[in-house]
């Protein structure tokens, strides 16, 4: 147990240290990229919601940004990570990034402030909630979680919180009174809480779980997926309404073509994403309906 606690402490300290780099998102200091910081070149930010801690997110998505920079002339793209879900949501509500990669619930929120969908990031069947538990867990049925603790990245994480809570609600569990819900800030932290026995189960979704298995194989070997929800629709790619349509179309075309080349497939593999697919605002109406049911039956996604 001490060894597991030490491992987790190291991971948390690394995450905190790296998250500190994001506390001044408007800082335009040098960043890793394929283009020099030429004076006068328009800069477009791609903000990705916290799939991982900021360092891991940069590692996974920087190759995509460099790919865009190498193929679109006259502009530069920067990748922007966020400390947590709330930080990411504050940024797009203030219309700061030009391009977004939000979860489907955040997609609906971003539409309200002038962003539109240009693509979907990953296959729809990959967007589902999963529960991870220790291999020595005595849990068998979802109802066994009554009176126990469950970790989630954030109350607004659709696949890793809202969908798992709705799944448990379907088994007759009163989410607000019969569970100890712990919102722990990141996908990796949710998994690690289950690994350390701090919670009876950790909720996450397939891409972060696959990444965790690759990066922490010893810890992952002591965990198992015990339940999963149905699938919905995957994360979107969005563009702000004042970005030139020609640029938005260039980005969309490059994203949709990634799966057709060896370089593109390597970039996709690093992001744990099968491919980008064509999508529009209308495709996310299913999310609006799902969230409406969730809020009627379970809880508000955000407490106003």
* Residue percentage of the chain with pLDDT more than 90: 82
The answer for 122, left when phi > 0, alpha when psi is -120 to 50, beta otherwise, is: left
Strand partners, 142: none
Give pLDDT tens digits for 193-244.
Answer: 999 999 999 999 999 999 999 999 999 999 999 999 999 999 999 999 999 9
- Range with the lowest mean pLDDT among 47-51, 111-115, 253-257? 47-51
Residues 6 or more apart whose CB falls under 8 angstroms from that of 204 comprise 129, 130, 132, 153, 160, 187, 190, 191, 212
Domains in the chain: boundaries: 42-124+234-293, 128-230
Closest listed residue to residue 150, CA positions, set 198, 195, 196 = 198
In contact, 282 and 108? CB cutoff 8 Å: no
- Tell me which CATH code domain 128-230 carries: 3.40.190.10
- Tell me which CATH code domain 42-124+234-293 carries: 3.40.190.10
What the block records as the tokens of 21 is 């780099």
Give pLDDT tens digits for 46-101.
Answer: 999 988 888 889 999 999 999 999 999 999 999 999 988 999 999 999 999 999 99
What the block records as the tokens of 131 is 């529960």
């Amino acid at each position: 147990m001490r060894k597991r606690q030490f491992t987790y402490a190291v991971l948390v300290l690394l995450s905190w240290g790296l998250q500190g780099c994001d506390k001044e998102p408007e800082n335009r200091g040098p960043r890793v990229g394929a283009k020099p910081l030429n004076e006068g070149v328009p800069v477009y930010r791609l903000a990705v919601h916290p799939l991982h801690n900021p360092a891991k997110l940069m590692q996974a998505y920087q190759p995509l940004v460099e790919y865009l920079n190498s193929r679109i002339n006259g502009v530069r793209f920067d990748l922007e990570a966020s400390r947590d879900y709330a930080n990411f949501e504050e940024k797009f509500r203030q219309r700061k990034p030009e391009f977004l990669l939000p979860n489907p619930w955040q997609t609906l929120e971003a539409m309200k402030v002038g962003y539109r969908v240009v693509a979907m990031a990953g296959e729809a069947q990959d967007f589902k909630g999963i529960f991870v538990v220790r291999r020595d867990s005595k849990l068998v049925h979802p109802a066994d979680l009554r009176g126990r603790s469950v970790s989630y990245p954030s109350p607004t994480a659709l696949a890793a919180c809202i969908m798992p809570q709705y799944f448990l609600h379907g088994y007759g569990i009163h989410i607000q009174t019969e569970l100890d819900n712990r919102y722990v800030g990141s996908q990796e932290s949710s998994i690690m809480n289950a690994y350390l026995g701090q919670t009876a189960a950790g909720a996450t979704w397939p891409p972060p779980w696959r990444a965790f298995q690759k990066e922490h194989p010893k810890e992952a070997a002591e965990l198992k997926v015990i339940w999963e929800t149905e699938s919905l629709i995957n994360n979107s790619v969005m563009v702000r309404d004042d970005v030139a349509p020609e640029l938005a179309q260039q980005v969309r075309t490059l994203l949709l073509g990634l799966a057709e080349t060896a370089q593109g497939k390597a970039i996709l593999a690093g992001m744990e994403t099968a491919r980008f697919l064509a999508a529009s605002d209308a495709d996310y109406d299913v999310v609006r309906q799902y969230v409406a049911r969730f809020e009627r039956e379970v809880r508000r996604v955000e407490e106003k």
